[in-house]
Structure 1
């Protein structure tokens, strides 16, 4: 409960503290994590530890502790006392380097922490979970400039626009039960320890310092300086600073000269931006979206939800020939543009913004385009991508990727000794695709987890070894049920592509019916991106990740199949690509066959159950039920 004080929570934890048996904890990658001496309270401090072996079938016998003797009993047969007798005494929290926190006498806030995470986004949260999983008594301090706990950003530009007001309000609240109220936040506020009480957490935990920004980083002294003037020393540090919206100089200049233009120019990155844009859009009569990439397209379509209620006019201006033209091949870009236009968005492709002025007579922002055309609107939304937050590089003397931006890190996501970077702000070396900087949620989560495990690594513990980042992250775009796709690898429209679609046949020479138009790409398909004769990227168009749909069974993943293809460095031979397309089951025949088989098995099961019930009824009735009735006795 959020109304329970920290002292009450601490008292409850101490009263419940007991030794549990050694548990083999399995993560998604199948790695075994030993947590000998973990307390029951520890297991509840991190969601990554909640799916423990206590809720699964126990192994035949527990691993013996040092000096233990085999008893010949199974785990279920051995008493708790017998199991505890084989365990070494748990180390005191103060003995763990990851649990020592020093507090400032002046401010009462942490002045030194074993683990420091700069940034409270998805990468930072994934790292905190990984640290806690590897070092259960660890104490982690996260510093973020937002007033919210970590949350998912993609729904801000998509799903939330299709929800009712009361539902949006509930989802934007970080209080209470996340399972009932919101899937937006990773953890509720009550999950995090107050920074002033981090040193009192005897079982460790994660503390979140909100509304603060790190403005300087001293690598030599392992110290950061906050905008409040506070200084914090660290043992290990992660740069998970994310990115910020890229601006356009023409809008910056106009906003500097005109407060009216400044108040009517919006950028989009966080929850506050979503709430502000939603309120302004509900009051506006027209809006201009600048940008034809992921965010620009998603917001343009989402704003049409407002248009259905208020009649809002939505315009979209982009410099490319089509929407999402930087990632999609021309035929899919054309299809996407037509879909967005049919949604009610007026599009202006191949246009650049050349001037921005305030029209006092109309009370609108006037935007001049490169073709000589001009547009006027109540609101302008600039969505032209993001750039990595690397401002700390100057004070820290860190190297920045000159091409894509981001802190340069090695394969272990380490920028310097005890200093790591993950998520949008890191430029890492991909052994398959070369140096990259990726701006998607899956990459943030996976890179944050690797960085966190490496931060908590221990050379003396074989279960806490350092690892390299080898994950091929995926990303997605979902504009509608008939326009959604997932992708893995290097997806760049400048590369050669080969596409395979389940569509109507092409028109034949004799005039027979056929089709090859942009509308045909509502059908499922797979696109291979080729470089130097090999497959370097795969896009799954209108194909679900699961090969077949079944809530009770785990289906093979198309995205994992795509990762396997990239890892094998598949040659770009036309025949081989055609065979690969069949493996992705573009026509979805596997799902059809599976559903038919499932129906058949369910029918057979019902028949067998009916036969069993009929047999049981017949046996229970006995011979009297089938005998001849006796004749009446005469009077």
Structure 2
């Protein structure tokens, strides 16, 4: 679906031609439906919006003698707002009685649908509505099922050019926007005191939803803005908050990629287990191309949101304007390119080509929703064996977390990687073998020195399973119930730079900027898309969350610079952290690390003897060297030295011998230290 189609579909949500359908949100389902409270909250919002905008809401109850009545939180609304409720015994809501009610107002040919279960009653209702010529909008944060994967597989099937999936606030905002264009200003239209630009107080929104309601309501797109920000992820978040902190009434246009819609369950507090929450925050949060929350400062001065495919934009830097897909343009004073990247993918497995029939069994680790699915895998009886593909930081963290959770139900976990050991692209082989032993002890089976070439249905050989094709010393297949594709690296999105003639760094594929993060006059670039000059390491591009936040902050400061507050250089030395707490490993990294470089490991000389007489590595520092200079530092269970590691890296001291390295960070007295050195490949 193109950006223009999405915009048109949402934009045509006219109160006079729309009906809301509330499907089977009943008491009996409270304890069995996945994220049931979110469904209730969305339904409360939409019934209140319907009341204020005079959009009729029709509700259904599936055989209430067995499943109970509508939940009390909504039952009051059905009474207060005179919402008719229809009993049914079929899956679809379209009983003869409900159809007769809808036919009383034949001009209402658009339906907003929410309720349960997504893959059964909601889906059947949507299909019946389409057959009868209705346009249908399904609220992704207002539908659910008993199992997460049933909900997951239902929504993609429903998302077509005639059936759109949107969030509740997007739908509400579209309806409010239409009212404003029609100049509905009577006393009934919108409460002012205690309400947020057309969203009534009785909707019982959280503070976060109130602020996002401001962001997504009725501000009309103008021809000129002080600040235009392309992209809507972590970097944009940091820049917006910084701009508003300096200029509370700043005029900001945020251009967001339509591919970020829908963003399921945007407003939930994600109840992930600690290991998976860390993995999402460290390796994927900065690639999320939609703000999951809003900076507090925005509440007093909402930004304007423009849905547009970033790939279709073009900058005219000489005239300081942005050319849109429809031929129109917007001028700006300062512009920030902060487009979110995409995970690189695996060597021979393109996630975009994965069959829909397999997507409930293949997890690409792209969104918070994917990580929530991982968190519940051990509770699904069909998942006896899970295979994690990828030996980097993300894959290793996920394999360990799933193996530990799997002990509760007997779920086994395998990790497949091309290297000899996990993390061996980054750490020396001796340390990779040590990690492999620790993971194996925690329940992770390893399939090393194998390259995954394909993932398909098991077919007749293994009905209901997945077949993973491997290439190593020989070609082989393994069978699994669930596959997790976990690449660590992220590719930048540079389409707008290519179309606009901005300079790309050939080595990093990022947009080249100076030390003030400026690519060309009044055009700034930050986050994982920027190739910037690091005084210690030279030109580089960094993909991590820490860099996304800090570069976004500096970009916001430099965009608002004036004579009193001049532009500043980006001198922050980004870091990232990998947590493997279940095997007692925490590693912090600054700079560039690659196991092919010359490495010098300084380890506390207190090895614990194991049954096979191998040493363990409990605490140490690995220096990554090139031409007698430190290019990167990994702190192994030595997080307390992080700031000192940054200082050492920035100093770029000429290292003549190992003795000098020992003195860089005083890990322990010399007598307690041992050195493990590997040569460059």
TM-score tier, shorter chain, comes to 0.5 to 0.7
Where 2:408 maps in the other structure, the secondary structure is: helix
**Root-mean-square deviation (Å):** 4.2
1:353-502, aligned counterparts within 5 Å? Answer: 353-361=452-460, 362-371=463-472, 372-384=475-487, 385-458=489-562, 460-461=563-564, 464-480=565-581, 482-502=584-604
Distance 2:194 2:269 in 1: 34
1:144-543, aligned counterparts within 5 Å? Answer: 144=256, 145=260, 147=263, 159-160=275-276, 188-189=293-294, 191=296, 193=298, 205=301, 207=303, 209=305, 213-220=309-316, 221-224=319-322, 232-248=330-346, 250-252=348-350, 255=353, 258-279=355-376, 282-283=379-380, 284-361=383-460, 362-371=463-472, 372-384=475-487, 385-458=489-562, 460-461=563-564, 464-480=565-581, 482-504=584-606, 519-521=615-617, 523-543=618-638
TM-score, with length taken from structure 2: 0.57
Distance 1:104 1:442 in 2: 31
Distance 1:486 1:211 in 2: 38
Partner residue in 1 for 2:127: none
Bigger radius of gyration among the two: 1
Where 2:567 maps in the other structure, the secondary structure is: coil
Q: 1:218 to 1:465 in 2, by over 3 A?
A: same
Deviation for aligned residue 1:378? 2.2
Aligned residue pairs, count: 445
Distance 2:273 2:223 in 1: 38
Distance 2:268 2:234 in 1: 7
Distance 1:498 1:152 in 2: 45
Deviation for aligned residue 1:515? 11
Where 2:349 maps in the other structure, the secondary structure is: helix
Where 2:387 maps in the other structure, the secondary structure is: strand
Q: 1:491 to 1:109 in 2, by over 3 A?
A: same
Distance 2:248 2:217 in 1: 25
CA contact (8 A) 2:526 2:551 kept: yes
Distance 1:478 1:253 in 2: 26
Q: Comparing 147-156 with 425-434, which one deviates more in the overlay? A: 147-156
Where 1:132 maps in the other structure, the secondary structure is: helix
TM-score, with length taken from structure 1: 0.61
Unaligned runs of 5+ in 1: 12-44, 46-102, 169-184, 195-200, 507-512, 546-557, 590-635
Q: 1:245 to 1:578 in 2, by over 3 A?
A: closer
Partner residue in 2 for 1:134: 246
Distance 2:193 2:328 in 1: 26
Deviation for aligned residue 1:375? 1.0
CA contact (8 A) 2:619 2:638 kept: yes
CA deviation string 1:539-582 (max 9, x = no partner):
2111132xxxxxxxxxxxx2221122122222223354354255
Deviation for aligned residue 1:210? 8.7
CA deviation string 1:190-234 (max 9, x = no partner):
83758xxxxxx5xxx353749764333332154446789996443
Q: Comparing 489-498 with 153-162, which one deviates more in the overlay? A: 153-162
CA contact (8 A) 2:379 2:409 kept: yes
Deviation for aligned residue 1:253? 8.8
Unaligned runs of 5+ in 2: 1-44, 49-189, 198-207, 209-215, 281-289, 673-681
Where 2:624 maps in the other structure, the secondary structure is: strand
